[in-house]
Structure 1
Amino acid sequence: MDSIDGLSPTVRDSKDVPGSGLTIAADRTGGLVVLTVRGSIDILTVPQLADAVREAMSGVPAALIIDITAVDFLSSAGMAALVTAHENIAPTSRFGVVADGPATARPMRLVGLDETITIYSTVDEAAVEFAEERDDPYSA
């Protein structure tokens, strides 16, 4: 076991790990911001997602939707990041996650996140619900 004593933790950038890339595109329409996420949300890519959420919220939109339908892996760290985003956003803006499929919606429902975060099947479904809660729709 002496060989373990000489080990030090290694911090890796997601770019260094094959298949763990993450891309995030932001779309602003009126008071609605949609972050479309593709790739893997894991311990290496959560900081990138958190930065995108902070940037999206800097303009204090009426609602933020995170679309993770194109995410192929959602780790517990990724789910925790979504909960943190919800908690930080909820006092000032509406928040929802678009997740459909076994890689995203299923794990979120299995751990009960659908009781904390509203999960939608499509961006349109979320946008319509958010617009109905306001007098003016988000889309022109």
Structure 2
Amino acid sequence: MDPNEAPTEEWHGQIVVVRAAGAIDMVTAPPLLTAIRAAHAQRPKGVIVDLTEVEFLSSAGMQTLVTAHQEIVEQARFAVVADGPGTSRPLKIMGLTDFIELFTTRDAALDTLSE
């Protein structure tokens, strides 16, 4: 994520999608978590973090996803959209997909969380 490019929020009914781009590292992970928390504060049925345009996901970025999952899962569904060596691969290698729902497309995530 470009430090100058803030995450965006987009609503699809009662599902909110928080989209990030670029690299998620120790500088850009905190603003992403802030954006996820702000979206969750609006009480959606589900929160999707879209990493489709993310090229690099650091350990700080993965910790952000774990923290968000822990904070959200009691009140809403939580999912991540990622497909590629810079995003989905590290999530799988670190075992995060054992408890975080991972989708390869935003449409698939929206379809599942909207059910």
Q: Structure 2 length normalisation: TM-score?
A: 0.93
> Which letter does structure 2 place at the counterpart of 1:45?
T
TM-aligned CA deviation for residue 29 of structure 1: 2.1
TM-aligned CA deviation for residue 20 of structure 1: 4.8
> Which letter does structure 2 place at the counterpart of 1:102?
P
Corresponding residue for residue 104 of structure 1: 87
Question: What are structure 2's unaligned runs of at least 5 residues?
Answer: none
Query: What is the aligned-residue RMSD (CA, Å)?
Result: 1.3
**In terms of Rg, which structure is larger?**
1
> Which letter does structure 2 place at the counterpart of 1:77?
A
How do 1:30-109 residues align onto structure 2 when only pairs under 5 Å count? Answer: 30-109=13-92
Structure 1 residue runs of 4+, over 6 Å off? none
SS at structure 2 position matched to 1:23: coil
Question: What are structure 1's unaligned runs of at least 5 residues?
Answer: 1-18, 133-140
Residues matched between the structures, number = 114
Q: Structure 1 length normalisation: TM-score?
A: 0.77
CA distance in 2: counterparts of 1:41 and 1:109, whole angstroms: 17
Instruction: Give the share of equivalent positions with the same residue, in percent.
Output: 42
Q: Is 1:40–1:74's contact at 8 Å kept on the other side of the alignment?
A: yes
**Larger relative contact order (CA 8 Å, sep ≥ 6):** 2
Deviations 1:100-135 (A, max 9, x none): 000000011011111010100001101111122xxx
CA distance in 2: counterparts of 1:73 and 1:39, whole angstroms: 7
Deviations 1:12-67 (A, max 9, x none): xxxxxxx8534311101221100111011111111101110111011110000000
